């Protein structure tokens, strides 16, 4: 039996700035995790990843990351690495946490 699919989003780094971006429902990119479009099936996730990876002129290194959904269906990162990527480093107030 196929493994139960966990919701996923597509994330990458911006080509010019190098910072973390998320694939949105419109097929563009946002710097905010809550804007990420959530795939609800493995097929959808692969389609989104292929769409994202084709955008070589915008981003680098797209991949799928697991998320959990709250009551309002907003995605939240599951793994601590992805949590850090939504914030920035812990030793200075730099990165996303400083950009609001």
Nearest to 11 by CA among 80, 67, 73, 57: 67
Residue 99 near another protein by CB under 8 A: no
Residue 3 touching another protein (CB under 8 A): no
Instruction: Round to whole Å and give the CA distance between 78 and 60.
Output: 22
Provide the 10 A C-beta neighbour count for residue 62. Answer: 22
Residue 13 makes contact with another protein by CB under 8 A: yes
If one asks whether residue 72 binds another protein (CB under 8 A), the answer comes out as no
In whole angstroms, how close is the CB of 52 to another protein at the nearest point?
A: 12
- Residue 38 in contact with residue 73, Cβ under 8 Å? yes
Stretch of residues binding another protein (CB under 8 A), selected from 2-10, 13-21, 27-35, 36-44: 13-21
Q: Give residues in contact with another protein (CB under 8 A).
A: 13, 15-20, 56-57, 60-61, 78-81, 84-85, 88-92, 94-96
């Amino acid at each position: 039996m196929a493994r139960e699919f966990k919701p996923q989003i597509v994330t990458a780094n911006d080509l010019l700035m190098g910072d973390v971006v998320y694939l949105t429902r419109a097929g563009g990119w946002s710097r905010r995790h809550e804007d990420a479009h959530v795939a609800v099936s493995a097929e959808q996730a692969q389609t989104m990843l292929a769409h994202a990876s084709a955008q070589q002129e915008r981003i680098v290194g797209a991949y799928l990351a697991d998320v959990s959904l709250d009551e309002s269906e907003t995605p939240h990162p599951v793994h601590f690495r992805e949590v850090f990527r939504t914030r920035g480093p812990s030793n200075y107030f730099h990165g996303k946490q400083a950009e609001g």
